[in-house]
Amino acid sequence: MAPLFETCGGTGFLPRGIVMAIGWGKSYEEQMEEANQRASEAKRNREPRLPAEDRVRLQRLESLKLSRSRVLAQLERASIPAHREMLMKGLQAIEKETEELSEPEAEHE
């Protein structure tokens, strides 16, 4: 009876009839180079970047939007009056800051 496993170049055993792949096609370096080329090409083709100040403002607005939805969800479940009052004050503060950040830049100067 033939053995179920054969040695594989002294590195281990493979089930009989299984052939180990020698290569994966492209080398790792070629794949990384292609990925870097695609990334730099995409970077060149995208729209002009917003000034840092505007990016920070938009990120803050997005954060406030998420905070507002979280506070509203908590407010729906809150039953203790003091907790509801605290959540309402937080919601008012979030809405005030959102309004201030949403105003046109000309009004700030």
DSSP string, 68-81: HHHHHHHHHH--SH
- For tokens 């055993």, the residue is 13
Percent of the chain whose pLDDT exceeds 90 = 42
Stated pTM of the model: 0.52
The per-residue pLDDT for 62 is 95
| DSSP secondary structure code for residue 17 in this structure | T
The span from the CA of 56 to the CA of 24, in Å, is: 44
Which tens digits make up the pLDDT trace of 5-31?
Answer: 555 555 555 566 665 555 555 677 787
